[in-house]
Chains A and B, each alone.
Chain A
Amino acid sequence: MATLIAPEHASPVEDAEALRKAFQGWGTDEKAVISILGHRTATQRQLIRHAYEEIYKEDLIKRLESELSGDFEKAVYRWILDPTDRDAVLLNVAIKHSPIPDYRVIVEISCIRSPEEFLAVKRAYQIRYKRSIEEDLASHTKGDIRKLLFALVSTFRYDGNEINARLANSEADVLRNAIKEREFNHEEIIRIVSTRSKLQLLATLNHYKDDYETSITKHLVDGPANDYLVALRTAIRCFNDPQKYYEKVIRNALNKPGTDEDALTRVIVTTAEKDLEVIKELYYKRNTVSLHKAVGKHTSGDYKAFLRALLGKED
């Protein structure tokens, strides 16, 4: 369930004019920016962008980039982008991250989006960066992590309901055997995790838990501490329970000394119109404090106000 609180009918022209007014004079009326943009759906935001461009012959996004700053600006920028475009930008930022790419983001987006959604992201990436995400990813990574990420990013999984139980059983065994031999980077692990349909994969993971009494991620913790295994475990978590995964990302982002604003922004902006409500509940269950309060404690200023607007109802 979404947390975004947006009116059913909004006038893009009025919103564009109000934003323009917020930019005028000294400084920016950030509260106005938040009260409008923080309460509009993706479609409404698109319409506002068009209206603003029509009336003022200027790209609203560019204007926002120059008027706002810091974490607030980054958050508004990501928020106002069309969701597929946003994912493409997040992926590009993750690939270009230094000193090494931000593998977790790449795994997260490629595993949580549906095959069709991710395909749209790949198209958006090509349009924006004039290269395919596969070629950028491959040229910035190598070794086992490249193998895994490349496979996760290239795949176009079957998204139907057919599950083969016998296959799930046999592939659970294949996974177990590879792990037993401590061949965590085994071709077969990558093959199964990156090509099977999500439903088929979940069936396989369930069989694994039934047959071996532990979830596969616990067995994978035994391996060497390398990026590849972290990415593999992340992928499996994303398949199993994306909301639980997101809750953990937020929790870690808030607990980290200094707060990981990028991760916090990414999750909230991505899920505000999807399932942030569920994530809020999970957060409260886990931490006994509401996400609203936690965000309020670890962030400040306009950035805080914006996030809390996206978090919706405070309970």
Chain B
Amino acid sequence: MAVSDEIGALTRAFSGLGIDEKSLISILGKWHPEQRNSFRKGTRNFFIEDERQFERWDDRHIIQLEREFLRFKNAMLLWTMHPWERDARLAKEALYKGPQYGVLIEIACTRSSEELLGARRAYHSLFERSIEEEVASRVGGIERKLLVALLSSYRYEGPRVNEEIAKTEAKTLCNAIKNAGKKPAIEEEEVLRILTTRSKLHIKAVYKHYKEISGKYLDQDLDAELGLKETVQCLCLPQTYFSKVLDDALKTSVDEITKETVTRVIVTRADADMKQIKEEYHQKYGATLSKKIEDVANGNYREFLLTLVARGDQ
């Protein structure tokens, strides 16, 4: 390979999600000191000219590299964890790093009642606090109400749905949304009550009735509302939510918090609804999820993701 090609391959090995360890070994492994010197001089974006006349690694890149090297390890840890510990740790991180309310909503709304309960128990063990007391004391305002209620929920999961009540509640939502200009829907007690206490089947029925009454989709109408759109999507259309979130994250130019979405979603959904997420993704974005992962991820991390994603094919 010509030197310029090799440099290109090296740069590629360091970019995207995870590290292409094989390329690093096969290229860097055989380079003599002069070649490594040319590499340092030739790649301005990794190395900077130090005032004392030598090429120094750019600190930001070292941090970046650390993250990418650790991406596989973090995926391993997350994958081998008990789902309860996994969700508890993800919630803790989401609360302390960011904070990322979307992740909290995701966990609260896409897990089953028993899974969410398990996560809350694990949280007690790991952090000696309840998740609701942590969220309540760290989040203020209207988001607090929504998040605490969602994370504390223990929804009925049986088949019984009262269609009359679902219809009435769809009307309530309709009115709240119409009135959103004067008072945001998220500040309406009734909106929160319906979305945070009703069973998922019931809310799906509300979703259906909402479409019949207003001609529009509830989640689309909640576009401007803090967290409510994600709440409805996670409760009613989790695959739509997950495929969107993956598409946003499978890019090289996004921040670290967004990149971590890829590991989180694929690890937590591999045994749940990965098949449906792949179908939805293909439908919405044209490309297959696997191809997108191949384009954007590297090395062991990539192989691991692809393996998990392929599990849905059984």
Contact = CB atoms under 8 A, between A and B. Distances in A.
B133 A196 contact: yes
A195 B147 CA distance: 13
Nearest to A200: B133
Interface string A147-165: 0001100111111101000
Interface string B163-190: 0000000000000000000000000010
B154 A159 contact: no
B133 A139 contact: no
Contacts, number: 82
A126 interface: yes
A169 to B, nearest CB: 14
A295 to B, nearest CB: 37
A137 to B, nearest CB: 8
Contact of B156 (A132, A151, A155, A197): A132
B152 interface: yes
Contacts of A187: 144
Contacts of B292: none
- Interface range, B side: 20 to 34
A142 interface: yes
A119 B121 CA distance: 11
A241 interface: no
B133 A126 contact: no
Interface stretch (B191-199, B263-271, B282-290): B191-199
B156 A138 contact: no
- Interface range, A side: 20 to 34
Given A126-B156, A142-B189, A160-B124, A135 B198 contact: yes
Contact of A138 (B117, B148, B197): B197
B152 A132 contact: no
A155 B132 contact: yes
A156 B152 contact: yes
Contacts of A132: 154-156, 197, 199
A131 B166 CA distance: 13
Which of A142, A150, A151, A154 gathers the greatest number of chain B CB atoms within 10 Å?
Answer: A154
Contact of B148 (A139, A142, A159, A195): A195
A126 B112 CA distance: 15
A195 B133 contact: yes
A138 B130 CA distance: 22
B189 A146 contact: yes
B128 interface: yes
Interface SS of chain B: helix
A186 interface: no
Contacts of B261: none
B61 interface: no
Nearest to A135: B197
A25 to B, nearest CB: 41
A132 B91 CA distance: 24
Nearest to B114: A123
A135 B199 contact: yes
Given A187-B144, A191-B136, A197-B133, A154 B160 contact: no
Contacts of B137: 191, 195
B129 interface: yes
Contacts of A126: 156-158
B149 interface: yes
A162 B130 CA distance: 12
Contact of A135 (B124, B156, B157, B189): B156
Nearest to A139: B193
Interface string B226-270: 000000000000000000000000000000000000000000000
B128 A160 contact: yes
A142 B153 CA distance: 18
Interface of A: 119, 122, 126, 130-132, 134-135, 138-139, 142-143, 146, 150-151, 154-160, 162, 187, 191, 195-197
23 contacts: A130-B158, A130-B160, A131-B199, A132-B154, A132-B156, A135-B156, A135-B199, A138-B196, A150-B149, A151-B152, A154-B132, A154-B152, A156-B154, A159-B124, A160-B128, A162-B129, A187-B144, A191-B136, A195-B130, A195-B133, A195-B136, A195-B148, A196-B133
Given A162-B128, A191-B137, 11 more contacts: A126-B156, A134-B196, A135-B199, A155-B130, A157-B130, A158-B124, A158-B128, A158-B129, A162-B129, A191-B136, A197-B130
